[in-house]
Structure 1
Amino acid sequence: MGERPQRNLALELVRATEAAAMVAARLAERGERASADVAAAQAMRLVLQTIDMDGTIVIGEGEKGEVPALFRGELVGTGRPPAVDVAVDPIEGPPVESLNRPNTLAMVALADRWSLWDPGPCQHVEVLVAEGAARDVVDLNRGPVENLQAVAAALHRDVRDMTVFVVDEPRHEDLIQALQSVGVYVRRSPGGFVLGAILAAMTGTGVDVLMGTARAPEAVLAAAAVKALGGTLQARRAPQDATERVRLEAALGPRLWETLTVDDLVRSDDVFFAATGITDGALLRGVQFHRASVVTDSIVMRGRTGTVRYIRSLHRLDKLMRFSQIDYTGEGPTPYR
């Protein structure tokens, strides 16, 4: 006899990503992007505290004392089982920039306690993501073109028909030129690293591979989504200056250059991921404001079952604001200002 259905925590986490997205989008609409990060984090935290879980923030907004909410080590949830690691990003990227570009998400991921990778002093990682069919052929010890050729062969595609998602940053210019030299279409995006990872891990999105260097916290969130989707991911620490390199060498020695797989970054199959679009993007629409309501588009995933759901929610402000501690209207004082 099979198991009884269990809680899909992603369906509860999506309330937290919706809250963060609505607050961030409302402040962006009012031209208050600089204050959106703290406001979105406070909104996300308020909802996370209502979920029956014994959660510890592993990937958060910063260290205790540096940020008011969702700091590393903070406890979230009601304290009841299950015991879980939690990774959060209320606004992907610096809000002044990310709220003015497409593909910006509010995200939460969680998995069993002690199963999410702790980057420690590592700030940046090189990452490659592709569909699960390429799991046995990618190797970050090889160059990007050689890896792309291997992925193309695993997917039974001509390399010139492949599309690679790369975040459009100066540090990726050499990578982009190398890929374009073999006739590959490079989809340059001003942001949205985690979105790119999701698109590369899913079939039929028009993106075959994600390549590039990202912030370490983004890599953990990406790994949670990729694992839930059954994709493949490899990562390697990539210090961006001498200070970061010296710090990592002192902490890790020769392990600094080890290759990490999706199973190293997420060591549990029961992983949950939820994301809500803040701005319009390739996967989700951004928050849409109407006269008396707000509409959000979200995606939720559970690794154990492989289920992916798209959720479109209509939030009626006349009802919601009768009891909500979060100001979704932007018309009055809020606990995070």
Structure 2
Amino acid sequence: MLGAHSYPAGLVARVREATDAAAAACLPWLGLGDKIAIDDAAVTAMRAVLADAPFSGTVVIGEGEKDAAPMLANGEALGQGVAPLCDVAVDPLDGTRLAAAGLPGSICVIALAPRGTMFDPVDVFYMDKLICGAAGRGVVDIRRPIAENLARLAAVTGAAVTDLVVVVLDKPRHTTLIAEIRATGAELRLVGEGDIVAAVTAATSGTDVDVVVGVGGTPEGIIAACAVRALGGFMQGRLAPQTPEQHAAAIAAGHDLDRVLELDDLVASEAVLFVSTAVG
């Protein structure tokens, strides 16, 4: 849990209850191979707890738009309609395939920020991301080649590039990026899922991950930004539609696809709450 001091204790407790309930609801489905059923169980349990939580919440990052889920959809109102007024980002089950396969690494997540401070990535489901600890601030930049960023980060931290651990989603779209990282000699860690866990680990000092880079989900990126902000880490993003249809939808929605989204753009407040519960 990060940023609990920014919110009333009763609301923090209810958000904690919601992630715990979602994780508990997943347990009967662990390892059964049904990712739709296990995700539905998490969504239903989380929604039930947040429905009458002591706040006025609006879902900015939710399940509905991307996954056609009937609950926790973008724009949905949550809570009792009382202060504080919050933007809400949820991922009832980050790592759905992992949980369905009975593997570790999935979490249930909620993030809150003051109303109007979360970036709304309407109609864009993918984002290129660069995430690391506070040492990367003013040092690395998503517009630079990965080899240059790793060299600069190593220099400022007093490490060798070969000491750095870089996490990338194991996807075909990252073939060139993976080859470039390997050419630097840095340790490459490929993961099938888990954008949010990787981001939190990279932004936390003293962990075994130094950098997260590459294209992942935009919703997960906004949630990760809340955690990175609370941890004092560094993050940049850039919207990255993956098909001509997605590109056209992004342009129609008014997005500037060349714009680099700084942490202040992704969540424009330090008063963030990030809560997660591991599944299993």
TM-score normalized by the length of structure 1: 0.76
Identity %: 39
Rounded to whole Å, the distance in 1 between the matches of 2:22 and 2:248 is 36
1:84-120 deviation line (CA, Å, top 9, x unaligned): 0000011114x34543233111100000000111001
Q: Which has the higher helix share?
A: 2
Unmatched 5+ residue regions in structure 1? 279-286, 288-337
Decide which moves more: 81-90 or 148-157: 148-157
**Equivalent-residue separation in structure 1 for 2:72 and 2:158 (angstroms):** 44
- 2:29 matched to which residue of 1? 27
For residues 158 and 6 of structure 2, what CA distance do their matches in structure 1 show? 37
Residue identity matched to 1:265: L
Aligned-partner Cα distance in 1 for 2:138–2:94: 30
- In structure 2, the residue matched to 1:233 is 235
Q: Distance in 2 between matches of 1:247 and 1:47?
A: 34
Match of 2:209 among 181, 188, 207: 207
Question: 1:102–1:169: structure 2 CA closer, same or farther, 3 Å change rule?
Answer: farther
Q: How does 1:10-21 map to 2 (within 5 A)?
A: 10-21=12-23
2:279 paired with 1:275 = no
Identify which of 137, 140, 155 aligns with 2:139: 137
User: What SS does structure 2 have at the residue aligned with 1:257?
Assistant: coil
- Backbone CA RMSD of aligned residues: 2.1
Q: Which of the numbers 158, 161, 170 marks the counterpart of 2:160?
A: 158
Aligned with 1:122: secondary structure?
coil
Partners of 1:24 and 1:86 in 2: CA distance? 21
- Determine the C-alpha separation between the residues in 1 that align with 2:62 and 2:6: 30
Rounded to whole Å, the distance in 1 between the matches of 2:78 and 2:37 is 23
What residue is the counterpart of 1:72 in the other structure?
A: 74
Q: Is the 8 A contact 2:98 2:106 kept in 1?
A: no
SS of alignment partner, residue 268 of structure 1: coil
- Tell whether 2:35 aligns with 1:41: no
Larger radius of gyration: 1
Give the CA deviation at 1:29: 5.0
Does the Cα contact within 8 Å between 1:38 and 1:69 map onto a contact in 2? no
RCO (CA 8 Å, sep 6+): is it higher in 1 or 2? 2
String of CA shifts for 1:178-215, please: whole Å, max 9, x gaps. Answer: 11111100111221111110010001111111111111
SS of residue in 1 equivalent to 2:143 = coil
Please report the TM-score for the alignment, with normalisation by the length of structure 2: 0.91
1:34 Cα deviation from its structure 2 partner:
2.8
User: Letter of the aligned partner of 1:243 in structure 2?
Assistant: E
Q: Is the 8 A contact 1:61 1:69 kept in 2?
A: yes
Listed as ranges, the matches of 1:1-337 within 5 Å are 7-8=8-9, 9-29=11-31, 32-63=34-65, 66-93=68-95, 95-96=96-97, 98-100=99-101, 101-252=103-254, 255-278=256-279, 287=280
- Rounded to whole Å, the distance in 2 between the matches of 1:12 and 1:111 is 15
Cα offsets for 1:303-336 (capped at 9, x unmatched)? xxxxxxxxxxxxxxxxxxxxxxxxxxxxxxxxxx
Letter of the structure 2 residue corresponding to residue 39 of structure 1:
A
- Mark the runs of 5 or more structure 2 residues left unpaired by the alignment: none
SS of equivalent to 1:256:
coil
User: In structure 2, do the counterparts of structure 1 residues 127 and 167 end up closer, same or farther at CA, with 3 Å as the change threshold?
Assistant: same
Indicate the SS of the match to 1:157.
coil
Deviations, residues 272-324 of structure 1 (Å, cap 9, x unaligned): 0001111xxxxxxxx2xxxxxxxxxxxxxxxxxxxxxxxxxxxxxxxxxxxxx
Distance 1:31 1:5, change over 3 A: closer
Q: Count matched residues.
A: 274
Q: Indicate how the Cα distance of structure 1 residues 167 and 70 shifts in structure 2: closer, same or farther if over 3 A, else same.
A: same
- Look up the SS of the partner of 2:119 in the other structure: coil
Pairwise CA distance, 1:32: 4.6
Q: 1:65 to 1:183 in 2, by over 3 A?
A: closer
What letter is aligned with 1:273?
A: F
Could you tell me how far 1:39 is from its partner in structure 2?
A: 1.9
- Secondary structure at the aligned position of 2:108 is classed as strand
